[in-house]
C-alpha cells in the first residue's frame, strides 16, 4: 500500500505559516489581541470539527473555548518545524472534542473517570509530515481510496471518538482487524496526498 522508500517532501513554509507563527509568538507572550487574531483565522474550522464530533452546539462551543485556551496557555510549547500552527491547533480541538463526547456517554461505555488521565494537549513529537493546505479535489481523492470497512473504522474513531476496542465491539470485528484497517486506510490516504502534491 505504501512504498517505505518514499517520504513526503518536507513542507515549505508558506506566508500563512509565517503569519501564524508570528501570531502564536505573541500569544505565548500573553497578547490577548493576538489570541483574537488566532481565533478569527481558525474559528470556523475549529467549530466545524468540534460540532461534527459532538453534534451539540453547547458542547462544541465549550470545546472550542477550551481548545483556544489550551493553545493560549501552551503556545510557548509549540515547536517550530513540527507541523503548522493550524494543524497543531486543530489537533487540540480534536483531542478536546473526543474527550468531551467520551465523558458525555453513559458510564457503561466509559472507563472509570477516576482512572482517566488528562487528555493530551500537545502533539506527538514526531508530528512532522502533515500537509496543511488541501483543496477539495485532494480531499475527495484521498477519501475515495478508502474501502467501506476502512472508512467505517476511521470515521468511528475520528468523528465519533470511539476507541479501537469500542469499534471492535461495535462492529463485531477482531481488534487486530480494526487496527489493520485504520493503518491501511490512513496510509492509503497519505499515498494519494503524495500523488497530488504540487
Partner 1 sequence: VTDQQPPPATLTCDDVRDLAAGFVLDALTPDEMVAVRTHLASCDDAHAEMAELAAALPVLAESVPIVEPPAGLGARVRAAAEADLASRAAADGPSAMTAWAPVIPPSGVASMPEATPVAPATPAPVPAAARGPRPASWALGIAAVLAIAVLGGWNLVLQGQLSDAQAYEAHMGMVLDLAAEPGAQTVVLASDGDGPTGLAVLGPNGEMAMAMQSMPATSGTQVYEAWAIAGDAAPVPLGSFQVGNDGTGTFALDDLDAEPGVVLAVTLEPGPGATAPTGPIVASGASSSG
For partner 1, the binding residues in 74-93 under the rule CB under 8 A are: 74-77, 87, 90-91
- Between CA 133 and CA 8 the distance in angstroms is 14
Residue (23 or 157) nearer to partner 1, CB: 157
- Between CA 113 and CA 125 the distance in angstroms is 27
Q: From residue 154, how far is each of 142, 148, 149 by CA, in Å?
A: 13, 10, 9
Q: From residue 24, how far is each of 38, 104, 118, 125, 130 by CA, in Å?
A: 8, 31, 24, 18, 19
Task: By CB under 8 A, tell whether 19 contacts partner 1.
Answer: no
- Between CA 35 and CA 73 the distance in angstroms is 11
DSSP, collapsed to helix, strand or coil, labels residue 23 as helix
Task: By CB under 8 A, tell whether 28 contacts partner 1.
Answer: yes
- Between CA 63 and CA 55 the distance in angstroms is 12
Q: Which residue in the set 23, 54, 88, 142 belongs to the binding site for partner 1 (CB under 8 A)?
A: 142
- Between CA 87 and CA 2 the distance in angstroms is 23
Task: By CB under 8 A, tell whether 171 contacts partner 1.
Answer: no
Least distance in Å: CB of 93 to partner 1?
9
Q: Which residue in the set 16, 21, 41, 62 belongs to the binding site for partner 1 (CB under 8 A)?
A: 62
Residue (17 or 94) nearer to partner 1, CB: 94
Task: By CB under 8 A, tell whether 37 contacts partner 1.
Answer: no
Task: By CB under 8 A, tell whether 134 contacts partner 1.
Answer: yes
Q: Which residue in the set 14, 18, 79, 120 belongs to the binding site for partner 1 (CB under 8 A)?
A: 120
Task: By CB under 8 A, tell whether 130 contacts partner 1.
Answer: yes
Q: Which residue in the set 20, 35, 85, 88 belongs to the binding site for partner 1 (CB under 8 A)?
A: 35
Amino acid at each position: 500500500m505504501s512504498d517505505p522508500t518514499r517520504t513526503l517532501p518536507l513542507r515549505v513554509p508558506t506566508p500563512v505559516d509565517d503569519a501564524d507563527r508570528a501570531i502564536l509568538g505573541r500569544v505565548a507572550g500573553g497578547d490577548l489581541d493576538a489570541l483574537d487574531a488566532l481565533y478569527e483565522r481558525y474559528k470556523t474550522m475549529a467549530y466545524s470539527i468540534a460540532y461534527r464530533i459532538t453534534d451539540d452546539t453547547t458542547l462544541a462551543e465549550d470545546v472550542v473555548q477550551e481548545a483556544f485556551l489550551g493553545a493560549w496557555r501552551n503556545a510557548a510549547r509549540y515547536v517550530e518545524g513540527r507541523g503548522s500552527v493550524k494543524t497543531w491547533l486543530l489537533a487540540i480541538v480534536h483531542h478536546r472534542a473526543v474527550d468531551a463526547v467520551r465523558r458525555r456517554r453513559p458510564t457503561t461505555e466509559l472507563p472509570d473517570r477516576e482512572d482517566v488521565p488528562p487528555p493530551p494537549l500537545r502533539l506527538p513529537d514526531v508530528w512532522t509530515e502533515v500537509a496543511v493546505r488541501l483543496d477539495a479535489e485532494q480531499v475527495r481523492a484521498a477519501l475515495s481510496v478508502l474501502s467501506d470497512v476502512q472508512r467505517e473504522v476511521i470515521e468511528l474513531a475520528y468523528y465519533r471518538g470511539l476507541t479501537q476496542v469500542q469499534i471492535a465491539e461495535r462492529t463485531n470485528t477482531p481488534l487486530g482487524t480494526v487496527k489493520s484497517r485504520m493503518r491501511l486506510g490512513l496510509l492509503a490516504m497519505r499515498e494519494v496526498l503524495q500523488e497530488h502534491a504540487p
